Structure 1
Amino acid sequence: MMNFMPWISIAILIYTGYLLIKRSQTHMTLLLSGLAMLFLAISFGVTNFLPKDVKPSGFVVFDIFDLLRSIGTKQVSGIGFLIMAAGGFAAYVDTIGAAKALVDFCIKPLRRLSQPYLILVLGYLIGTALVIVIPSAAGLAMLLLVALFPILVGVGVSPAAAAAVIGTTACIGFAPAAGTANLAAKTAGVEPVIYLVHYQLPVALCVIASVAIAHYFVQKYYDKKNDDIYSQTQTIEAPEESRAPKWYAIFPILPVILMIIFSKLVYAKIQLNTVSALLLVWVLVVLIELIRFRDAKKVFKEAMQFFKKMGAMFASIVALIICAEFFAAGLKATGVVALLIQSANGLGLGMGGMTTVLTVIVGAVTFLTGSGVGAFSSFAALAPDVAASFGGDPAAIVSPMQIASGIFRAMSPVAGVVIAVAGAVGISPMALVRRTTVPMIVAFVVTMIANWLFFIV
């Protein structure tokens, strides 16, 4: 009878996917699916699903909720707090105009060039670099629509081509700012800055270069074809001129600089924690704002954006990670993970093959739901067990999964960033996806090849 349990769980998994595709609320769908699988495991006599540091309550039903409590406590006090702090810091530097100052500083050199598709490629490269400090795909896209879009259209690039580049700038979410990257680092058991330098950058640089080249030819081809159907373009209004001085552009990247300096990469005698770096720079900027404006009421009100965004990040991302890990615990308890590993061994897939399978699953779910965070967080917790079974590095599995969640989001017609950018330039999401699909497929193929060469072979 135990042999039937994983297959029943797979049926629950498939139904969960169906509900997500139908736009069911992601958090509660994953939570209740995990609950169903854990009750299934109990009905088959499985009781050892608690973490090693959690003692059984004596009643197995209570143990399920002890598991949920344990996951929530661990996430909120660990990676969850890091994600919330990163989101809060990003919101604050955006509120005071420092994020816009950084975007303006990076975009300014493009105004001097006159080669349309070279500017297009450089715009993509600049936008991708900005993801390190502006992790929100939609937030960065809105900034680039104001700062970069007029430049690209002004030199002769079509609005659709400019939109395709802007919509794909955040296809790779970098640590330590992006929530998925921080979760990947935690899952792999490394510091976010080490994950960024050792695991993300080698693959990301290959991907970025290939996507830039693909954009050059794909957008040039479609511009010559000139068959995009435009509707009434929404007015992209420039925000009020930033009150922040130009030198404020340093603040969004200062935590990353400090973390790299005070780490094993540069000066190992002093270690600066990610959250500590974010808090340090936040307090520093608040003090500078007080000196500039001498208006404590105004400055403190803006400083509260840090905490307000932390709360929003808990509701949107950290709570999702908690529900997704609970869902993954159900997959483990019912034997689905063990079945996957056995099947991989039986087919001779090995570490590389299993990595490809999990990455494709994350990509497919992202494409169908438009949510990279939901797809990645649902399956990220499986990576350590899979890696352990093959004697491999968890980062080699979790890194392409994390990158794929951003890649497939950029070519999903139901993704928020795709819908927002398409609407802003007056084309349909499907017309935008037509221009992003080839570059993103190239990105996925290069991701898998580079990850294989760097970390698996």
Structure 2
Amino acid sequence: MSSIAFFLSLSVTAITGIYLYRRLNPQGSLMLAGLIMLTLAVIFNIQPVIPAKPTGSIIFDLIKIVEETFVNNLARAGLMIMTIGGYVAFMNHIQATNALVYISMKPLSLFKKYPYLAATITIPIGQILFITTPSATGLGLLLVASVYPILVGLGVSKLTALSVIAAATLFDQGPGSANTALAAELIEQTNVAYFITHQLPLVIPTTLVVMALFYFNNRYFDKKDAARLSAENETENNKVSQSVSRPDVPFIFAFLPILPLALLILFSPYVGLLQNITLNTTTAMILSLFISLLFIALHTRNLRKTFDAFSSFWKGMGNVFASVVTLIVASEVFSKGLISLGFIDSLVEYSTHIGLSGISIAAVFALIIFGAAMLMGSGNAAFFSFGPLLPGIARQLGMPAYSLILPLQLSASMGRAASPIAGIIVAIAGVAGVSPIELAKRNTLPLIGSILFLIGYHFITL
């Protein structure tokens, strides 16, 4: 039965991929595929996903799963994504983004001649921030609000700017990462010890390779796109030239787009400005919104204009819900369908029967979990499905547990950045107005090179 289920999951995934390639509505394609796989899991009694509150009817249970997915996403990441999307729209409306770009262009004028270098430097800076803000989607959207307009102003394309922002969240590392917590638990270490003794020695050299590959990959594709779409690039250049013109607002407004990020860093447990205060992303966004409204009220001295500006925040939230949150929900239903058909379990079972050496099987596992994360759109889902099995597999292969767990844990988060249905890809692409599929395609080639380096370097230095 597992062979049939595996074949069915691959077939549904392949058909869904074709639909997405042909630009059918992604929400509808992913939702339908997920419901089909959930239905097949029930029919064949494989690993049926049961809602938290069953209805007593199989048909109603399937719909209940969709409802619970909506509710869970709105209560967690959905609200955060909507508030960040609304804040980005609000910053654009009050010209705070323009002020940030205008001011940034002066000290960054050196990078006008080297825009791809500036974009590439964003990757390690973002990775440091990712340790203090361990939410890929949250950090990605914060960087879209603050760094993205600066990079575009320097002259790189939208896809290049978004590509390096996604690359900043490649590695789920640091004590605050859920994947780090599970990996550390599996090898019976503390989060901090695992981070320092295992993650950093592998992440640092891999990051250098990631930077080089993304630099040349983005420069190549931008030149290729420029040659094919000269008219469109002319329009984009006009937009950039307008975006760096002097804004009609006080320059202190330039601080507002980076205010949420500054608050999250200052009040993170790793900086510890005030040890007894905790701050999450949504709270930081709403607090920054009210501070910004105060700035507008003092600047315009007009209550009507202040409230009119406020309305842009709600409109931005609505736009992000329609384009981003709904796609994340559909992607999660699709992921649940894959899990319900035993897709991950089948991958593990088939891989262990290949008959390769221990290191070869570990390398194959890393590539498999990379691909699984691409299909599922979640590094956490992929690693949490594989993770508990790894210590036992490592013992069978005669390897220390960390040598198998470490590359797979990092591979899972790397695969997320190449997935067109991953939360961060959908979110940052949606806010910037580009296709998630195009962004995932832009990231795929350098990520394949990076994962091959990570696997080779890890096992060579064991």
- Do they superpose with TM above 0.5? yes
Distance in 2 of aligned mates of 1:389 and 1:276: 37
Distance in 2 of aligned mates of 1:295 and 1:265: 40
How far the C-alpha of 1:60 sits from its partner, in A, is 2.2
**Does the CA contact (< 8 Å) of 1:33 and 1:327 recur in 2?**
yes
1:40-59 matched pairs, under 5 angstroms:
40-46=40-46, 48-50=48-50, 54-59=52-57
Distance in 2 of aligned mates of 1:241 and 1:416: 27
Aligned partner of residue 286 in structure 2, secondary structure? helix
Aligned partner of residue 50 in structure 1, secondary structure? coil
Structure 1 match to 2:186:
none
Alignment partner for residue 367 of structure 2, among 334, 341, 356? 356
Distance in 1 of aligned mates of 2:7 and 2:102: 54
Instruction: Provide closer, same or farther for how the CA distance between residues 442 and 4 of structure 1 changes in structure 2, counting only shifts above 3 A.
Output: closer
**Does the CA contact (< 8 Å) of 2:210 and 2:447 recur in 1?**
yes
1:237-256 matched pairs, under 5 angstroms:
237=239, 238-239=242-243, 241-256=246-261
Distance in 2 of aligned mates of 1:167 and 1:49: 37
Distance in 1 of aligned mates of 2:267 and 2:432: 37
Task: Please state if 1:446 is matched with 2:450.
Answer: yes
Structure 1 match to 2:20:
20
**Does the CA contact (< 8 Å) of 1:207 and 1:443 recur in 2?**
no
Structure 2 match to 1:342:
349
Distance in 2 of aligned mates of 1:322 and 1:144: 30
Query: Any idea what the Cα deviations from partners look like across 1:115-171, whole Å, max 9, x if unmatched?
Result: x4xx3344434776799666559x9877755x323xxxxxxxxxxxx55xx641221
Structure 1 match to 2:95:
97
How far the C-alpha of 1:311 sits from its partner, in A, is 1.5
Task: Please state if 1:148 is matched with 2:146.
Answer: no
Task: Please state if 1:297 is matched with 2:304.
Answer: yes
Alignment partner for residue 212 of structure 2, among 203, 210, 233? 210
Distance in 1 of aligned mates of 2:32 and 2:21: 16
Structure 2 match to 1:234:
234
Instruction: Provide closer, same or farther for how the CA distance between residues 12 and 125 of structure 1 changes in structure 2, counting only shifts above 3 A.
Output: closer
Bigger Cα displacement from structure 2, 314-323 vs 126-135:
126-135
Aligned partner of residue 381 in structure 1, secondary structure? helix
Stretches (4+) displaced over 6 A: 126-131, 139-143, 197-201, 215-220, 415-421, 451-457
**Does the CA contact (< 8 Å) of 1:188 and 1:384 recur in 2?**
yes
Task: Please state if 1:400 is matched with 2:414.
Answer: yes
Amino acid at match of 1:124: A
Query: Any idea what the Cα deviations from partners look like across 1:10-45, whole Å, max 9, x if unmatched?
Result: 212211111111111111111111111122122213
Distance in 2 of aligned mates of 1:361 and 1:91: 34
Task: Please state if 1:270 is matched with 2:277.
Answer: yes
Distance in 1 of aligned mates of 2:26 and 2:414: 22
Alignment partner for residue 80 of structure 2, among 79, 82, 95? 82
1:99-178 matched pairs, under 5 angstroms:
99-111=97-109, 116=113, 119-125=114-120, 135-136=143-144, 147-149=153-155, 163=157, 167-173=159-165
How far the C-alpha of 1:106 sits from its partner, in A, is 2.5
Query: Which blocks of at least 5 consecutive residues in structure 2 are unaligned?
Result: 127-138, 182-190, 392-404, 423-428
**Does the CA contact (< 8 Å) of 2:83 and 2:282 recur in 1?**
yes
How far the C-alpha of 1:56 sits from its partner, in A, is 2.6
Task: Please state if 1:309 is matched with 2:320.
Answer: no
How far the C-alpha of 1:358 sits from its partner, in A, is 4.1
Distance in 2 of aligned mates of 1:212 and 1:46: 41
Instruction: Provide closer, same or farther for how the CA distance between residues 388 and 416 of structure 1 changes in structure 2, counting only shifts above 3 A.
Output: same
**Does the CA contact (< 8 Å) of 2:379 and 2:412 recur in 1?**
no
**Does the CA contact (< 8 Å) of 1:93 and 1:252 recur in 2?**
yes
Distance in 1 of aligned mates of 2:445 and 2:339: 31
Give the share of equivalent positions with the same residue, in percent: 24
**Does the CA contact (< 8 Å) of 1:27 and 1:323 recur in 2?**
yes
Distance in 1 of aligned mates of 2:365 and 2:167: 24
Distance in 2 of aligned mates of 1:213 and 1:175: 11
Instruction: Provide closer, same or farther for how the CA distance between residues 359 and 62 of structure 1 changes in structure 2, counting only shifts above 3 A.
Output: same
**Does the CA contact (< 8 Å) of 1:359 and 1:404 recur in 2?**
no
Distance in 2 of aligned mates of 1:262 and 1:383: 29
Tell me how many residue pairs correspond in the alignment: 391
1:348-387 matched pairs, under 5 angstroms:
353-360=364-371, 377=377, 381-387=381-387
Query: Any idea what the Cα deviations from partners look like across 1:391-444, whole Å, max 9, x if unmatched?
Result: 5478634420233348x9xxxxxx9999989xxxxxxxx9xxxxx97x974464
Instruction: Provide closer, same or farther for how the CA distance between residues 202 and 265 of structure 1 changes in structure 2, counting only shifts above 3 A.
Output: farther
How far the C-alpha of 1:78 sits from its partner, in A, is 0.6
Aligned partner of residue 281 in structure 1, secondary structure? helix
Task: Please state if 1:259 is matched with 2:264.
Answer: yes
Amino acid at match of 2:164: I
How far the C-alpha of 1:46 sits from its partner, in A, is 4.4
Aligned partner of residue 418 in structure 2, secondary structure? helix
> What TM-score does the superposition give when structure 1 sets the normalisation length?
0.69
Instruction: Provide closer, same or farther for how the CA distance between residues 5 and 30 of structure 1 changes in structure 2, counting only shifts above 3 A.
Output: same
How far the C-alpha of 1:2 sits from its partner, in A, is 5.5
Instruction: Provide closer, same or farther for how the CA distance between residues 31 and 335 of structure 1 changes in structure 2, counting only shifts above 3 A.
Output: same
**Does the CA contact (< 8 Å) of 2:84 and 2:141 recur in 1?**
no
**Does the CA contact (< 8 Å) of 1:188 and 1:398 recur in 2?**
no
Amino acid at match of 1:266: V
Amino acid at match of 2:290: V
Bigger Cα displacement from structure 2, 105-114 vs 91-100:
105-114
Query: Which blocks of at least 5 consecutive residues in structure 1 are unaligned?
Result: 150-161, 364-374, 409-414, 422-429, 431-435
Query: Any idea what the Cα deviations from partners look like across 1:347-372, whole Å, max 9, x if unmatched?
Result: 46666533423434666xxxxxxxxx
Query: Any idea what the Cα deviations from partners look like across 1:266-291, whole Å, max 9, x if unmatched?
Result: 11432111110111111111112111
What RMSD, in angstroms, separates the aligned Cα atoms of the two structures?
4.7
Distance in 1 of aligned mates of 2:33 and 2:218: 44
Amino acid at match of 1:86: I
